[in-house]
Amino acid sequence: MNLRAPLAAVAVALVLAGCAGQDRSGSADQQMRSWVNGTNLGATIGTLVGDVQHAASQLHGGGSAAALHTVCGVLLVDTEQANSNLPTPDQSLTTLLSNAYETLGEAGHDCYDAVGNPAKSQAFDAAKAKGLLLLSEAQSRAESILGSVIVTTTTVPLSGGGGF
């Protein structure tokens, strides 16, 4: 009897199971905790909030076009990086984060095009508000699954001091 084929199938199954990662095993809160820690969700949220604040400050504070383009570009890059961490173990959270990242990406594009364009400046403000609301809802969803607060403090300084 040839045992090579069944043993090879078992070996492949074990390898594929190992590729699934820790975030796909255990209870829902264990999966979420693994995903949140593995993707550093708290820092990601804090970074995006800081990016949006910097973009708004440059846009509405009369910064140079080059400075505005830089902070808007950073917002776009950070949003794309955050989006690469999806999906989450929870479909509702994945949808909330995906929508938040998409909206913040739109804000970044509007921000980049807002130099001398009041309509794009207004579009940035609207997308910023909606994106931050969705991000907050996503954070609340993740916290409800975890049963604990996700700390979002980063090294991004805020005007007026304090954390996120």
pLDDT over threshold 50, residue 59: yes
Find out if CATH 1.20.120 is the number for domain 22-146. Answer: yes
Is residue 110 a contact partner of residue 122, using CB atoms and an 8 Å limit?
no
Alpha-carbon torsion angle 65, 71, 76, 77, nearest 10 = 120
pTM listed for this prediction: 0.79
Cα(71)–Cα(63) distance, rounded to whole angstroms? 10
Q: Are 161 and 153 within 8 A, CB to CB?
A: no
Per residue in 9-51, pLDDT (tens digit) is: 433 333 333 333 344 678 888 999 999 999 999 999 999 999 9
Q: In which residue are the tokens 């950073």 written?
A: 74
